């Protein structure tokens, strides 16, 4: 299990291209997800920054969703849609970091920062200890451990803020996301309705995820 955020700031897990899992060094102001950042190494040795989303990320987020393959976009939005509306972009960037927290994974190529992964939780209006999770990784970066890393960082923040139960709605043919949750030991409570698998897991079950971050 990861230590609390304040301790994580000083921690540095070893990170080599040979590691079987991706790894990260965490920084930012203690207990303030608004300034969260981590330098991470994916399983194949690529370097990414994992940081809190910013209001000026709108264009980069738009590009992120546009660059998802039709299948990935379908799995993320439950429809073939490729473009996100202004309102949806605002819901990702204009956030309070209390009820909603969004992390992005970025890389720099030819001097421009690109969002290659995103993970968000939204706290349930009726239960402050429960949150809905969603994530996406652009196709070229999938299978490198980035989804696992992003979710681990997000769950670390959630835990520090008292969120102890998580839900994720996943299409039943989204074997990658279901595999990710299963491999992490999280897919404990499942119910399927109209091809959507409703996965619920608790903080204790998230421990195996957190060790990957």
Ligand X SMILES: CC(C)(COP(=O)(O)OP(=O)(O)OC[C@H]1O[C@@H](n2cnc3c(N)ncnc32)[C@H](O)[C@@H]1OP(=O)(O)O)[C@@H](O)C(=O)NCCC(=O)NCCS
- Residue 170 binding ligand X, by CB under 6 A: yes
What the block records as the tokens of 184 is: 């992490």
Sorted by sequence, the CB contacts under 8 Å of residue 7 that are 6+ apart come out as: none
Segment contacting ligand X by CB under 6 A, of 7-15, 45-53, 145-153, 188-196: 145-153
**Closest to ligand X by CB, 143 or 185:** 143
The interface with ligand X within residues 54-83 (CB under 6 A) comprises 72, 75-76
Least gap, CB of 52 to ligand X (angstroms) = 18
Helix (H) or strand (E) holding 59: helix 58-66
For 18-164, where are the E strands, in sequence order?
23-27, 37-41, 47-52, 100-109, 112-124, 127-137
Helix (H) or strand (E) holding 88: helix 86-93
**Closest to ligand X by CB, 103 or 146:** 146
Task: Output the residue with the shortest Cβ distance to ligand X.
Answer: 179
Q: Are 23 and 144 in contact (CB under 8 A)?
A: no
Among 179, 192, 195, 204, binds ligand X (CB under 6 A): 179
Number of residues that bind ligand X (CB under 6 A): 22
Q: Quick one: CA dihedral 58, 34, 87, 120, positive or negative? A: positive
- Residue 143 binding ligand X, by CB under 6 A: yes
Interface residues with ligand X (CB under 6 A) are 72, 75-76, 134-137, 142-148, 170, 174-177, 179-180, 183
């Amino acid at each position: 299990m990861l230590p609390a955020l304040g301790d994580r700031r000083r921690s540095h897990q070893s990170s080599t291209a040979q590691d079987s899992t991706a790894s990260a060094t965490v920084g930012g102001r203690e207990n303030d997800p608004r300034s969260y950042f981590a330098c991470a190494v994916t399983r194949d040795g690529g370097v990414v920054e994992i940081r809190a989303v910013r209001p000026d990320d709108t264009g980069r987020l738009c590009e992120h969703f546009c660059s998802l393959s039709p299948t990935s976009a379908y799995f993320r939005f439950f429809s073939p849609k490729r473009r996100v509306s202004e309102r949806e972009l605002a819901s990702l960037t204009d956030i309070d970091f209390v009820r909603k927290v969004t992390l992005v994974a970025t890389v720099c190529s030819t001097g421009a920062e690109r969002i290659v992964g995103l993970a968000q939780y939204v706290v349930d209006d009726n239960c402050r200890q429960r949150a809905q999770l969603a994530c996406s990784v652009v196709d070229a970066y999938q299978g490198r451990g980035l989804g696992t890393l992003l979710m681990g960082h997000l769950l670390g923040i959630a835990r520090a803020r008292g969120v102890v139960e998580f839900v994720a709605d996943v299409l039943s043919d989204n074997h990658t996301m279901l595999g990710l949750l299963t491999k992490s030991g999280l897919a404990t409570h499942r119910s399927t309705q109209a091809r959507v698998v409703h996965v619920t897991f608790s903080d204790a079950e998230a421990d195996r995820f957190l060790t990957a971050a």
